[in-house]
Amino acid sequence: MIRKNTEYPLQPPRERGTGRAFVFALVMHALLGFFLYHGIQWQNSTPEGAEAELWTEVPDSAIPRPVTPPPVPVAPAPPVRDEQADIALQEKKRKQQEAAREAQLAEQQRQEKLQAQQEAEAKRQQQLAAEQAAQKAAAAKQKQLQQQQAEKLRQQQLAEQKKQQLKEQQEEQQKQAEAQKQAEAEAQKKADAQKAAKAKAQAEAAAQAKKLDAERRARLAQMQGMAGPPGSTGNGLGKSGTGSGSGGTAASPGYADKVRRVVRPNITWGGETEGLETVIAVRCSPTGTLLSATIAHSSGNSAWDDAALRAVQRSDPMPQDIDGKTPASFRITLRPAG
């Protein structure tokens, strides 16, 4: 937008040929003045008088007629020089020349002023164009900076969204892993409980079977002791069972079950269970203090034999019988729970 300059108001556009027309007018005025000044010849001297003779024929008349003399011509009065008119003409001419010079000077000043105004206007337009270009460049730079900042903010938001999504995925995976782990733990716990229940049922069944077998063997041994085998002293209770047994001295029918309840919790075994049976020979004091424990019959598996022997050694002291004393010697038959 072009701002209005109050100091130099806008002038009408300059017409072409004005300068040449002005110069031509000045030349014509100078020529006109020259012709006016030199074209008229002023009479500065008095003109000489003119003489003329008139001849007329005298008629042949007898009577003379009086001759009338011709009138003497009066010479025209010489023109009187009008000095005031001359001075006025010269003053007029001078004024015209001064007016022409003033007009020329005024025109020149006007042209210079107009040219200065045009140059100032052109300079102002250039400055305005430079300012507008600078403003456009600044606006473009600001817009580019805003776009860069917007792009950077968008990238940050995308990064935050990806980070949040990754965090949520990790949390979801962790929850799934924990849920799976908890489910596996519950399944393992359930399986362990089932296994423990099964093992307990099997142990109870085995214990019941051992108890029945021990009672049967005890009754059988008692019957054999009472009958007395050939060469026996009558006090041997050679006894064996699925859990424990006693021999060497007389023992009540339920003593084997007491020994089994003491020794069984001390067995620590995680290997195979099929076909393993170890017989431990035990010697005790009347108070139940374990004096010795040795392997009388190996199962063929040294690890199980050691586990059975440690279980017996950990069972010190041995339980007392119904008479308040512990048998001096007896044997314990041990099999792993299966």
Confidence (pLDDT) at 231: 33
Cβ atoms of 280 and 294 within 8 Å: the answer is yes
287 is a domain residue: yes
Torsion of CA 262, 263, 265, 268, to 10 degrees: 170
pLDDT at 89 (0 to 100): 85
pLDDT of amino acid 281: 92
Q: Is residue 219 assigned to a domain? A: yes
| Any domain includes 118 | no
Domain CATH for 283: 3.30.1150.10
Is residue 286 in a domain? yes
Dihedral over alpha carbons 185, 186, 189, 190 (to 10 degrees): -150
E strands present in the chain? 278-284, 290-297, 329-334
Q: Looking at the 3D structure of the chain, how many domains does it have?
A: 1
Burial of 290 (0-12, 13-18, 19+ CB in 10 A): middle
Does 74 map to a domain?
Answer: no
pLDDT of residue 202: 65
User: Per the domain annotation, does 128 fall within a domain?
Assistant: no
What is the secondary structure of 86-141 as a DSSP string? HHHHHHHHHHHHHHHHHHHHHHHHHHHHHHHHHHHHHHHHHHHHHHHHHHHHHHHH
Per-residue model confidence as pLDDT tens for the chain (338 residues) = 445 555 555 666 666 777 788 888 899 999 888 888 776 655 555 555 556 565 555 555 545 555 566 665 555 555 545 677 888 888 888 888 888 888 888 888 888 888 888 888 898 898 889 999 999 999 999 999 999 999 999 999 999 988 898 889 888 888 888 888 888 888 877 777 777 777 676 667 666 666 666 665 655 554 443 333 333 332 222 333 333 443 445 678 888 888 888 998 898 888 887 888 999 999 999 998 989 999 999 888 889 999 999 999 998 889 988 888 899 998 988 888 76
Domain that includes residue 296, residue range: 210-334
Asked if residue 250 belongs to a domain, the reply is yes
Q: Does residue 221 belong to any structural domain of this protein?
A: yes
